[in-house]
Amino acid sequence: MGIIRKTQSIELLLSEFSNSTGAISAIELIKRLSAKVNKTTVYRVLDKLEDDGVVHSFLDKSGIKWYAKCNSCTHAQHFDSHPHFQCLNCGKVDCLEIEVALPNIPNRQVEVSQILIQGNCESCSK
Amino acid sequence: MGIIRKTQSIELLLSEFSNSTGAISAIELIKRLSAKVNKTTVYRVLDKLEDDGVVHSFLDKSGIKWYAKCNSCTHAQHFDSHPHFQCLNCGKVDCLEIEVALPNIPNRQVEVSQILIQGNCESCSK
DNA sequence: TTACTTTTGCAACTTAGTTGCGTTAACAAA
DNA sequence: TTTGTTAACGCAACTAAGTTGCAAAAGTAA
Ligand SMILES: [Mn+2]
Ligand SMILES: [Mn+2]
Ligand SMILES: [Zn+2]
Ligand SMILES: [Zn+2]
């Protein structure tokens, strides 16, 4: 079940995402909002936002959770199956709006795929 | 620093890998060897085997660590950058010996990429 | 306001993995 | 075969991300 009431915590989380282009880790959000929102609430709100198609989540190489805004997802369907890029220098993570074509895999039915690419971002590759 | 002495724990870990075609999670290895090897040792041996190019590791969707045999890697270089496949039905995980061509990503230097594909394996897709 | 129900904070818990340290066991040299 | 060196080990305690249960607080519609 998604979001039903417009509460302060939800507004605060949403404004973090609207002030940001890239992805934000759950840990970073907890840190940023620590004065105003409890970490349990942060996790719970993120869950609900994801459930509603407002944000999507993925894990980085060290297994921690990141969230980014969705473009046109709904409670019924998530379309965000794009790769994510993590800069090995500055740590920034963002969504790549590109399609990666997976070759056919013999005898296997593909349902989902997650692609994490690491390297140097635009600002860090000079 | 990699493996220097051929100890019992190392032999036991190695035999788990030689008796298996797919990947094995650290947790599963700890469970299987719990009577003979301490979990700290399991983690430390896996680290060293990876360092020596004997196995490679990756995280699954829930962030837990899996290990699989390498083909022709060494201490100096890991060549295993293939995708991994996890069956959503039986949980089995294995290496896919295929190449996935990533499109060029504007303004970014790609160093590494990790691809986890999920779906139904050969035995589970009937 | 009131009544109802969702959402929140807090503390306690879970789980995968790590660290420090004293003991054990490889293994090379004697 | 014994001995000395030190890598590897077991154990207990710890870390860190995320989860759970429950009582209190805050939305919302009446
Ligand atoms: Mn994304
Ligand atoms: Mn592999
Ligand atoms: Zn960068
Ligand atoms: Zn299967």
User: So where are chain B's domains?
Assistant: 8-119
- Mean pLDDT value across residues A15-31: 97
Residues of A with CB under 8 A from a CB of B: 59, 61, 63-64, 83, 85, 88, 96, 98-103, 105, 107-122, 125
pLDDT at A37 over 80: yes
pLDDT value at position A90?
Answer: 94
B114/A112 touch (CB, cutoff 8 Å), yes or no: no
Three-state SS at B66: strand
Q: How far is the CA of A4 from the C1' of D28 (A)?
A: 10
A105/B111 touch (CB, cutoff 8 Å), yes or no: no
Give the residue from B3, B88, B73 showing the smallest Cα distance to B45: B3
In which order are the strands placed within the sheet that holds B93-95? A93-95, A84-87, A109-120, B109-120, B84-87, B93-95
pLDDT value at position B8?
Answer: 98
User: How many helices (H) and strands (E) would you count in chain B?
Assistant: 3, 6
Name the architecture of domain B8-119. Answer: Orthogonal Bundle (1.10)
The alpha-carbon gap from A116 to the nearest alpha carbon of chain B, in Å, equals: 5
Three-state SS at A3: coil
- Mean pLDDT value across residues A24-30: 98
B85/A100 touch (CB, cutoff 8 Å), yes or no: no
Report how far ligand 2's centroid is from the alpha carbon of B98 (Å): 11
Could you report the per-residue pLDDT of A102-126, keeping only the tens digit for each?
A: 988 989 999 999 999 999 999 998 6
CA angle A90, A92, A98 (to 5 degrees): 130
Query: What token pair was written down for B1?
Result: 């620093």
| Chain C bases closer than 7 angstroms to a protein Cβ | 6-12, 16-20, 25-27
Cβ B47 vs Cβ B65: under 8 Å: no
Ligand nearest to the CA of A121: 3
Could you report the per-residue pLDDT of B7-36, keeping only the tens digit for each?
A: 999 999 999 999 999 999 999 999 999 999
Q: Which nucleotide is nearest to A43 (CA to C1')?
A: D18
pLDDT at A67 over 80: yes
Three-state SS at B79: coil
DSSP state of A50: H
User: Which residue minimizes Cα–C1' distance to C8?
Assistant: A41
B109/A99 touch (CB, cutoff 8 Å), yes or no: no
| A5-9, B1-5, B65-69: the lowest-pLDDT one | B1-5
Q: Residue B107 is nearest to which of A99, A116, A125, comparing CB atoms?
A: A125
Q: State the greatest distance between any 2 C-alpha atoms of chain B, in Å, as a whole number.
A: 52
Query: What token pair was written down for A91?
Result: 């740590």
